[in-house]
Amino acid sequence: MQAILDFIKSSRIKSPWLMHFDCGSCNGCDIETLACLTPVYDVERFGIVNVGNPKHADILIVSGTVNHRNKKVLANLYEQMPHPKVVVAIGACGLSGGVFREAPNVVGGIDKVIPVDAYVPGCPPKPEAIIDGVVLGLQKFAEKSLA
Amino acid sequence: MAQTILPFGPQHPVLPEPIHLKLTVEDEIVVDALPALGYVHRGLEKLCDIRDYNQMVQIVERVCGICSKIHAMCYCQGIEEMMGVEVPDRAKFLRVIWSELHRVHSHLLWLGLFADAFGFEALFYQFWKIREKVMDINEATTGNRVIVSVNQVGGVRRDLSAEQLRWIDAELKVVEAQVRALRATTLDDYTVKKRTKGIGVLSSAQAMELGAAGPTLRGSGVAQDMRQLKYAAFDRLDFQPISYPDGDSWSRCAVRYDETLQSIDLVRQAMARLPEGELSVKVKGKPEGEVVTRVEQPRGELLYYLKGNGTNNLDRCRIRTPTFANIPPLVVMLPGLELADVPVVVLSIDPCISCTER
Amino acid sequence: MMSILGFLLALVVGVFVAPILGGLITGLDRRITARIQSRLGPPILQPFYDVAKLLGKEKLLNNSWQAFCAYVYLVAAATSVVLFFMQSDLLLIFFVQAVGAVFLVIGAMSVPSPYSQIGAQRELIQVLTYEPLLVLVLAGIYVHTGTFKISGIYALEEPMLLKLPLLFLVLGYALTIKLRKSPFDISASAHAHQEIVRGVYTEFSGPYLAILEIAHFYEVILILGLVSLFWSTSFVGMLVLVALTYLAEILVDNVSSRMTWRWMVTSAWAVGLTLTLINLLSLTM
Amino acid sequence: MRLGPMVPTVVKNLISKKSTRPYPFVVREPFPDQRGELYCDIEQCIFCGTCARKCPSQCITVDKEQGLWICDPFACVYCGTCEEVCPTHCLHHKGAWRPVAGERQMIEMKGTPPKKKKKDAAKDAAAE
Amino acid sequence: MPIPTKQVTKETLVAEVLQLKNAGWRIVTATCVDLNENEFDLIYHFDKDLQMEHLRLTVPKGAPVPSISGVYLAAFLVENEIQDQFGLCFDGLALNFANHLYLDDEVATTPFCKFGVVRKTAAAE
Amino acid sequence: MHSTLMFILIVLPFLAAIACAVVPVKQVRSAVVVVTGALLVVASLLLIGKVPFETSFTSMAGLPLASMTQLADFLLLGFVLFLGWKHKHLGIKILAGAQLVILFALEAFMMDHHAASMAFVADPLSLTLVLIISIVGSIICIHAIPYMDNHEHHLHLTISRQPRFFAWLVVLLGTMNALVLTNDLLAFYFFFELTTLCSYMLIGHDGTEEATNNSVRALYLGSMGGLALLLGAVFFQNMLGSLEIQEIIKLAPSAGYAMLPMALLCVAAFVKSAQAPFQSWLLGAMVAPTPTSALLHSSTMVKAGVYLVLRMAPGFVDTTLSTYVALFGAFTFLATALLAVSQSNAKRILAYSTVSNLGLIIACAGINTPAATAAALFLIIFHAVSKALLFLCVGTIEQRIESRDIEDMHGLFVRMPVTASLAVIGVLTMILPPFGMLMGKWMAIESAAANVPVIMMLALGSAITLLYWARWAGLLMSHPLQGGVTPEVQPKLTKYPLVALCGGAVLLSLLSPWIYSALIVPMIDMVNLANPQAMFEAPYVTSKGMLGADSGVFPVAPLFLVLIVGMFLGLRVLKNAQGAREASIYLAGAQSRTAQTPDSFVGPVNQPVKVANANYYLTRLLPEGKVTCWVNTAAVLLALLLVVGGL
Ligand code: SF4
Ligand code: SF4
Ligand code: SF4
Ligand code: SF4
Ligand code: SF4
Ligand code: SF4
Ligand code: SF4
Ligand code: SF4
């Protein structure tokens, strides 16, 4: 029994399914996130699968600025993810609103709506940096699932 | 007959960007589609009030990361026209090289996403694999993969060395060969044709009436391309717009496939004819007046309306992006299709919501 | 009749070994698929990590009936595999397996989510497409061997493939649907996601999704078992046939786009029924 | 109309070298002049504030009095404008990208404002 | 230097647009410019064989403008956008998003006007 | 003892009917129905121990049965003629007139009437039907008591028309019992016609225009069947000099020329079982109150048709006729299953499914091997029980939600947990192992496996069947995780019949190996007895609750064991699941965040939009009208082939 529980625990960081939500990004960050999945970076090496459904996701990758309309969507998606879960914000926009911080319909970074576990700076961050972000997220994931 | 009403987006795995369609289907046949926007709206045009006209270059680049270079170019051309600045020739050619490289990467990206829309995963991966070479060229020559920031009012910020030009040429050969190898699959495979031929038909009359732009327009047989306006160095390059007559998703795909190769060719032409000279000229004064400029984005005609008032800040910066023009045709194309065709047709206009909503 | 020992063996192999094998094959599948796409791909054990992780996740449900249906799916899949190892009646095995399919649909339909519902409808259409083909393949086996019992096939002197080549193709056609591979991955979108997210699986999450995955491992074994019967005379032949068939499935998956369900029904019935007809007639004439 | 024209491509993929880069086990050398992490050589900075004024993202604050150069690394968009306009060339983009972070950060660098160089430094030292 | 435009009035707008359509012009888009406390400029852009034609309509704030979406359906999007951002209302919109094309109720004033006015929400209408 | 049982089974219902019709007190009528039902159940059960037997009566309870039926026959035809005249229906007039003439000719010139007695034969086949009619039929009649009250309440009738209704309902029970027990083809013909009349009366019960039209159609098509049957009888009398059913079966196979009357009998049976192209009357019959539909048009009366084919089947073993019957049945099975797919009206689904299943039974009769016969019998039994259950569920649901459209039943569990669950179980017993229907289908497929066209149609048909059942069962059960379900209160007479049928469907499935030994083995023995050339062997052996043969095994008991263990596990899972977090449905992230708008998403113009879910009806692929047209054309051709090809 203990062995099974251990296996489950160790499996957690080996099978992070991620969902990507574009929260009003300029696409720069999104295409770099997508690039992570493609042959050259192939994050499936780490068991990472891009799922389109919050109910199947462990990691939520969010890019872009939060505005009044998409903040509700963001909150919905986060709520529909089963625990344990982590959020990785990518790009200047996702981190703070970036260059658009002062634009009229911008609320700000992702952490204004949901708690963020890893911040990946860049505009857009390179795919390698996004992988780093997911790795950092996974560390938090491991901590959370122990708790 | 019983109807299913479902939200397609804002978060949907086939859409990298948030757009919402309220779909009404009967046995998976779409009977009604109503779009909802606003998930990406930032209001960035309004930033011209608090950022000077030079800073706006970086901001309009971020209208959309995929053709950032071309946005900046269009904007700079507008300001230059308003201020009467003549850009050095070398800068004009370099602008063409980078903008056509952007078109190559954008079209490859689209070809991949389009393949994904009809569930051809291996093809998706293949195109994205090829695309990485173009991204490497971007990164090596501009310092960034996606948002390259090479334009400035008055010229360009980076140069290409002779060695770099040779390297680009070699890399592009590989890219071209690999893209050509996928022609039969992209345009002639039975399963692909089944999913794209005759799906989402837009006649040329409809396309004109609904204001379609870019490959969506050219896929309906209207050979109109803003590069015919001969901005930048296009007056000194061989260029003929590509069009296909059928107006279906397949035609739009064929246009983009051919344009990928065409753009590689244009890069080569520009590299071959690249003149020596300055990269930029010093810009003096403050923009005043009105100007309308247009360039061809990977997704079609891009229009900037700029109005200066003699200060460092513009009075109005209005951006009409190609996807904005292609949304009405999309809404018209959807009814009567199968649900499975919705991603295909939505992707077939190469939607870019961040540019639509800015 | 079977000895008690044989029965117990079948039970143990069917219940415990089969899913492990099924998981390994799925892992291998993902690896090969990745290589075909010029990627490195996940570790072979990835499916087990996935399932284990899912088992440890929070339980999230819309209604409890969903959970019930997931378990029935699992039990039905396991039962059909056990029956297979007991060399029971093929038709019956297949009907027992259909219990799982039906409960998956019912479970998905019990949630008013349009994606899940559309997935369920499509799953039903998939069942509608492959079921007749499978029944006809089994009927062909019956005509050839005189029995629906698997033991009857093992009694054959020469591989069934030689007499039923077209039916084997039909089986392949049907199994592509069952394995959720392109061009027929239309109800659950195991890899892709194009229009309906994860279709029938959309509203199952965490442990309940894990249950469905395990059930799918069983199904993979059942399907490959069925394939292996076509070369029942030698163990090596079986392995080779199964490996080649599976490779072919992966290849087809990677060189075709996903088709619509209308195309699936019409093409499967047109091609499948014609091939069946020819092969059956050649057998009965 | 052809069936399976993709076959040669996938077979080639299967038997040829995979294109996956083994990041993070091997990290690729950055291209020259890549715009990675922004770095301020604070000793060279004269606190003129040009970078702060020109930055399109307005993420830099310069306090000439205190000798502070502050940058919000989460708002910087790596456009390189500041690097270009800095009169003393004390701003550089490193080749490598900025490392990911677990929480909000602020880069605050304290240098010595020009002119009153020695005097101020002595004052500061005395204050501490 | 202003761009060459043809000045139209609210009354002649739709007729002019119809004329252009019949002559085979494609609508590119429309632009709204906040001129001062009392007026907007509405500029309509058309294209034919790479040539452009612009119509300029100067209107006082607060009064609705006739929609041209009856002539060019495609115009509904840009007119909705202007309605959202500038609070300028259009009469006879083919598809009216009632001030909610881009913006949610949280945005209380028209964001693109230098002299912002309170946005009318759908509920208020 | 025989005579008492026969009296209860056949005559008592008629007496009860009279009581129902004349006593206007509701309580008395209810009591009469319940008591008659109970007596029928008891009598039919007692009959089990008696089979097989033959008996004949000159009179029963002092009534001269044989001569009475002869007289009644003419009266009946006269009445039908009158109805034809009343409804100005030329077809009915011609058919009834022709039958009158032919019957007169037959009675007057061709038969000798020395033995004016009525012969009955009870064998396992008739016993099976008697059990179904008496038990299932009675349960339906009892369920009708509260149902009709509600029904009339809805219609705001001032004068109850229930006496008439219940009278015809119970008359039918007696008629059917007589029909399956009689050994005389002419008597069979009379009862056959009588069921048509019952049908006419009950379909038209509500008196609306639609009801009247549909009842006339039923009468018209029914009369066609009657004519075919009568013609068949004339031929048999002419050729064999006998109208004794057992005699005909014995003599017929040796005589190739006897195929024409056999074929005519089959056609009569097809009409009664509403096989294509005659299905329209059964579809029309769905306007009737649900007990009528359940009793006449699904579980009992339509079985008269398949009974006739099965009864005569030993008479045409290994003939071309048999092949055609198999083809015809399989075709109807497939075609009407296709038609069922396009339906969202629950009663029409049930109707098409009935036709479809009867087609399957007829196909089995046509395959005409012992295994197929066994399959047919299983199908008859389990279809009757499950279908009755489903009909009664639909009736109950309809009275509550005032719709028969399955699209209106999404999440019915919340409103009617008991009925919804019962309906789901009913559906599952129709399509899944280890339940009896599926076992019947399993046997049918195994026995048809070598018959290429038939197996192809069966394979397609059974897949389609799965489709239209599963989607219905699926949509009933959606409900919120916690709370929200309102307990259901039902009158006892509504609830008990449902529960009894449901329990019956499950329990009988478990008992199927024993049913097989008790009913089917002796029946095959009887066939052998009746037909010395055919030396059939029992197709399956039963041991340890398993049905086995060389060709395959169906481990009923072990599967039930798995089922029980599975259920136990399932219930624990259900309980466990209560602890889960309740999730909102996936709506692409756009779900409305207010509690006032459940299952809604924020759509265009920022307004909440409620999601809608609908089944697929493939109406573009299979438009009902067009498909009906093709099906009917094909069926007419097949039927012609059957009549002509048999020669
Ligand atoms: S951070 Fe940069 S690249 Fe990413 S979304 Fe924002 S602007 Fe685009
Ligand atoms: S073009 Fe489309 S797919 Fe590409 S980034 Fe823009 S929105 Fe996304
Ligand atoms: S058109 Fe779309 S893709 Fe191109 S730059 Fe604009 S936003 Fe980006
Ligand atoms: S020259 Fe440099 S230091 Fe002097 S004021 Fe200008 S920017 Fe500041
Ligand atoms: S790189 Fe660009 S955004 Fe970043 S600090 Fe410098 S100027 Fe500002
Ligand atoms: S925060 Fe400032 S210093 Fe840091 S990397 Fe971004 S721009 Fe450079
Ligand atoms: S521009 Fe250079 S010197 Fe001036 S404040 Fe910025 S970093 Fe310091
Ligand atoms: S349309 Fe076809 S099916 Fe309908 S009544 Fe006429 S013939 Fe019969």
| Helix H or strand E segment including A20 | strand A17-22
Phi, psi of F221 (to 5 degrees): -65, -40
Helices (H), chain D: 7-15, 50-54, 81-85, 117-127
For the question of an ipTM over 0.90, the answer is no
Q: Which of F457, F426, F432, F559 is nearest to C101 (CA)?
A: F432
Tell me whether the omega of the peptide bond preceding residue F52 falls within 30 degrees of 0, making it cis: yes
Q: Do C30 and A44 touch (CB under 8 A)?
A: yes
Q: Is the pLDDT of residue B93 over 80?
A: yes
Specify the higher pLDDT residue, F334 or C185: F334
The per-residue pLDDT for C1 is: 46
Would you list the DSSP string of B220-236? TT----GGGG--TTGGG
D49 vs B228: CA distance, rounded Å: 44
pLDDT confidence band for C2 (50 / 70 / 90): low
User: Do the beta carbons of residue A20 and residue A63 sit within 8 Å?
Assistant: yes
Q: How far is E92 from chain B (nearest CA, A)?
A: 17
Cα F385 to Cα F371: distance, rounded to the nearest angstrom: 21
**Cα of B287 to nearest chain D Cα, Å:** 17
Residue D123 has pLDDT above 60, yes or no: no
Q: What is the mean pLDDT of residues F316-342?
A: 86
Q: Are A121 and D98 in contact (CB under 8 A)?
A: yes
pLDDT exceeds cutoff 80 at C194: no
**Is B2–F344 a contact, with Cβ atoms under 8 angstroms apart?**
yes
> Residue E41 is part of which domain span?
1-125
What are the φ and ψ backbone dihedral angles of E43, each rounded to 5 degrees? -115, 125
- Cα distance between residue C138 and residue C129, in whole Å: 15
Q: Phi first, then psi: what are they for F106, rounded to 5°?
A: -60, -50
Structure tokens at B128: 């994205």
In chain B, which residues have their Cβ closer than 8 Å to the Cβ of E54? Answer: 292
F38 near F135, Cβ under 8 Å? Answer: no
User: Can you state the percent helix, strand and coil of chain E, rounding each to 5?
Assistant: 20, 30, 45
> From the CB coordinates, do chains D and E have 3 or more pairs under 8 Å?
no
Residue closest via CA to ligand 7's atom 2 equals D86
- Beta strands D68-71 and E6-8 are unpaired
User: What's the confidence (pLDDT) of residue E117?
Assistant: 58
Amino acid identity, position A140: K
Q: Provide Rg for chain F, Cα atoms.
A: 25
Write out the DSSP string of C236-279. HHHHHHHHHHHHHHHHHHHSSPPPPHHHHHHHHHHHHHHHHHHH
pLDDT given at position C190: 60
Across residues F212-232, what is the average pLDDT? Answer: 87
Q: What residues of chain B lie within 8 A of the CB of E50, using their CB?
A: 224, 226, 228-229
Q: Do chains E and C touch (3 or more CB pairs under 8 A)?
A: no
For chain C, the chains sharing at least 3 beta-carbon pairs closer than 8 angstroms are A, B, D, F
Both tokens of residue C142?
């019956």
Return the half-sphere exposure (C-beta side, CA atoms, 13 A cut-off) of residue B271: 23
Q: Enumerate the domain spans of chain A.
A: 2-143
By DSSP bridging, strand B29-36 and strand B20-26 are antiparallel
pLDDT in tens, B21-47: 888 888 888 888 888 888 888 888 888
Q: What is the pLDDT of residues F168-187, one digit of tens each?
A: 888 888 888 888 888 888 88
Region C218-236: what's the mean pLDDT? 87
Which ligand has its closest atom nearest to the C-alpha of B12? Answer: 2
The Cα F582–Cα A80 span in angstroms is: 10
Query: What's the one-letter identity of residue B28?
Result: E
Tell me the chain E residues in contact with residue B49 when contact means C-beta distances shorter than 8 Å.
114
The region of weakest confidence among C90-99, C118-127, F231-240, F599-608 is F599-608
Atom of ligand 8 nearest to the CA of F633: 7
Q: Please confirm whether the linkage preceding F434 is cis (ω < 30° from 0).
A: yes
- For residue E122, name the pLDDT band (cuts at 50, 70, 90): very low
For Cα atoms A127, A129, A130, give the angle at the middle one, nearest 5 degrees: 65
Measured in degrees and rounded to the nearest 5, phi and psi for residue B242 equal -105, 135
- Total-model pTM: 0.87
Sign (positive or negative) of CA dihedral F192, F198, F202, F204: positive
Can you tell me the mean pLDDT for D91-103?
A: 81
pLDDT number for residue F253: 59
Give the whole-angstrom CA distance, residue A63 versus residue A48: 18
pLDDT number for residue D116: 57
* Distance in Å, CA B62 to ligand 1 centroid: 7
By C-alpha distance, the chain D residue nearest B142 is: D34
Determine how many CB atoms are found less than 10 A away from the CB of residue F87.
Answer: 17
Residue D60 φ/ψ, nearest 5 degrees: -110, 140
Residues with CB under 6 A from ligand 2: A 27, 30-31; B 16-17, 64, 66, 113, 350-353
Which architecture, in CATH terms, is A2-143? Answer: 3-Layer(aba) Sandwich (3.40)
CA distance D59 to D37: 14
Which other chains touch chain D, taking contact as 3+ CB pairs less than 8 Å apart?
Answer: A, B, C
By the 8 A CB rule, do C101 and C37 touch?
A: no
Cα C255 → chain centroid: 20
Sequential DSSP letters for F243-312: -BHHHHHHHGGG-GGGHHHHHHHHHHHHHHTT-TTSTHHHHHGGGS-HHHHHIIIIISTTHHHHHHHHHH
Q: How many CA atoms lie less than 13 Å away from F248 in the CB half-sphere?
A: 27
Q: Domains for chain B: give ranges and CATH numbers.
A: 41-325 (1.10.645.10)
pLDDT at residue A62 greater than cutoff 50 = yes
Mean of pLDDT values over F7-14: 84
Q: How far is CA D54 from CA B71, B77, B83, B309, in A?
A: 20, 21, 20, 20
Crossing angle of helices F624-645/F320-341, nearest 10°? Answer: 170
Contacts B129 to C, Cβ<8 Å: 38
pLDDT digits (tens, 9 = 90+) for F69-118: 778 888 888 888 888 888 888 888 888 888 888 888 887 777 766 555 67
List the residue whose alpha carbon is closest to atom 6 of ligand 2: B352
Q: How many domains are there within chain E?
A: 1
Strands of chain C, DSSP E: 60-61
pLDDT bin (cut points 50, 70, 90) of residue B349 is confident
For residues C136 and C170, is the Cβ–Cβ distance under 8 A? yes
Residue C113 structure tokens:
């989510």
Q: Is the CB of D52 under 6 A from ligand 4?
A: no
Report CA F38 to chain centroid distance, whole Å.
21
- CATH class of the domain at D30-127: alpha beta
* Closest to F528 measured CA to CA, from F514, F541, F512, F539: F539
pLDDT tens, F388-430? Answer: 888 888 888 888 888 888 888 887 888 888 888 888 888 888 8
How far, in Å, CA of B124 to CA of B347, rounded?
13
Q: What integer best gives the mean pLDDT of chain A?
A: 85
Beta bridge partners of B315: none
DSSP letter at F44?
Answer: H
